[in-house]
Amino acid sequence: MTTSTGAPSRSRYTWGGDEFLFVEVDEAMSLSANFTVMAIAKELAAGGHEGIIDICPANASLLVRFDPHRLSHTALEGIVRDIEDGVGNQEGAEIPTRIIDVPVWYDDPFTAEVGARFREGYHQNPSGNDLDYAASVNGLADRAEFIRRHQAQPWIVSMVGFVAGLPFLYQLVEQEQQLVVPKYLSPRTDTPKLTIGHGGCFGAIYSVRGAGGYQMFGLVAPPIYDPEQRLADFADSSVLFRPGDIVCYRSVDSDEYEAIQAEVEAGTWRWRQAPVSFSVEAWQSDPAATNRALMEALDA
């Protein structure tokens, strides 16, 4: 399979019925693959091509819905291949994005209560809680050390989906430093809204209450999904996070959690965020310096 320029294509192109093009950049998630997906999605959206209905980027793939009566299969494939070819030739390319400060009440009583209800038959270690288990499987001293590692370095939003507004996140650390925790043996039928979850090497924030199988570490204080768009940060979209956003977790106690809840109720809460640029090549060259610059942007 080749691009329109004759160069070997790195991705696999397949069709879903008459209306969907699926582009698999890689079989496994990596920062490079995710960066390529986001770059293709951005360029495709900016192109304003008639007949494209929706563009859905994922961890290492892209789904495009189109109207075959307005845009032929051949034309769409050519457009996407040309974009992929251009993205692949952009050495050192950066994506404009933002870093967002996310206040978390770790080890809260709400996720603890739900976790206690789903131990026997659901969890690998019925005698402890999710944070204790996560610390143990990562060889850390205790839950406090796990929490410290969890918020020590930023995370990137690799995709948004599954339910409305739910982000999947990947911590920006080298592979040997990844926090890896298996999912529950059997999914729960309940997960509190705004739970910080973790499965494998991926984090997630449950935007709404519902079933789930990720380990639960705490609660995000303000909403990340506002279908009524009451808060100012949701004026343009009911969903807060976008692929490519950088997240910086910050611990809060019960008092600060309640104070944030009061601001949300009053309609005055604003997310603390700052514009940044992110380059996979720069991060791979010096992860520590890149992460430090990203986190310092919140205080600039």
pLDDT given for residue 191 in this prediction: 98
178 and 273 in one domain? Answer: yes
| pLDDT > 50? residue 234 | yes
pLDDT band, very low/low/confident/very high, at 194 (cuts 50, 70, 90): very high
Give the DSSP H/E element, type plus range, for residue 254. helix 254-266
Tell me how far apart the alpha carbons of residues 203 and 200 are, in angstroms, rounded to a whole number: 8
For the chain, list the strands marked E by DSSP. 12-16, 20-24, 52-57, 61-66, 95-106, 155-160, 167-171, 195-199, 202-205, 215-220, 246-251, 273-278
The mean pLDDT value for 271-297 works out to: 95
167 and 52 in one domain? Answer: no
**Are the beta carbons of 159 and 57 closer than 8 angstroms?**
yes
- Pick from 34, 24, 28, 264: nearest CA to 172: 34
**Domain span including residue 235:** 96-299
pLDDT given for residue 90 in this prediction: 60
Tell me how far apart the alpha carbons of residues 267 and 76 are, in angstroms, rounded to a whole number: 43
Q: Which CATH number fits the domain that encloses residue 105?
A: 2.40.100.10
Does residue 114 fall inside a structural domain?
yes
Domains: count for the chain: 2
Q: CA torsion, points 140, 144, 150, 151, in degrees to nearest 10?
A: -140
What percentage of residues in the chain have a pLDDT greater than 70? 96
Task: Please tell me the least confidently modeled range out of 39-43, 61-65, 105-109.
Answer: 39-43
pLDDT band, very low/low/confident/very high, at 4 (cuts 50, 70, 90): very low
Does residue 30 fall inside a structural domain?
yes
Residue type present at position 99 = I
Residue ranges in 18-164 assigned as alpha helix (H): 31-46, 73-88, 109-117, 130-137, 143-152
pLDDT given for residue 29 in this prediction: 85
pLDDT digits (tens, 9 = 90+) for 131-165: 999 999 999 999 999 999 999 999 999 999 989 99
pLDDT digits (tens, 9 = 90+) for 79-121: 999 999 988 766 567 889 999 999 999 999 999 999 999 999 9
**Are the beta carbons of 31 and 173 closer than 8 angstroms?**
no
pLDDT given for residue 89 in this prediction: 60
Q: Whole-model pTM?
A: 0.90
CA atoms within 13 A on the CB side of 293: 12
- Mean residue pLDDT of the chain comes to 93
Tell me how far apart the alpha carbons of residues 238 and 226 are, in angstroms, rounded to a whole number: 5
How many residues are listed for the chain in this entry?
300
- Pick from 221, 209, 213: nearest CA to 197: 213
Task: Please tell me the least confidently modeled range out of 90-94, 128-132, 214-218, 249-253.
Answer: 90-94
Which of 30, 65, 90 marks a domain boundary? 90
290 and 240 in one domain? Answer: yes
81 and 207 in one domain? Answer: no
pLDDT given for residue 8 in this prediction: 44
107 and 55 in one domain? Answer: no
188 and 174 in one domain? Answer: yes
191 and 74 in one domain? Answer: no
188 and 59 in one domain? Answer: no
204 and 82 in one domain? Answer: no
Backbone CA torsion sign across 132, 138, 141, 144: negative
- Pick from 95, 66, 193, 203: nearest CA to 146: 203
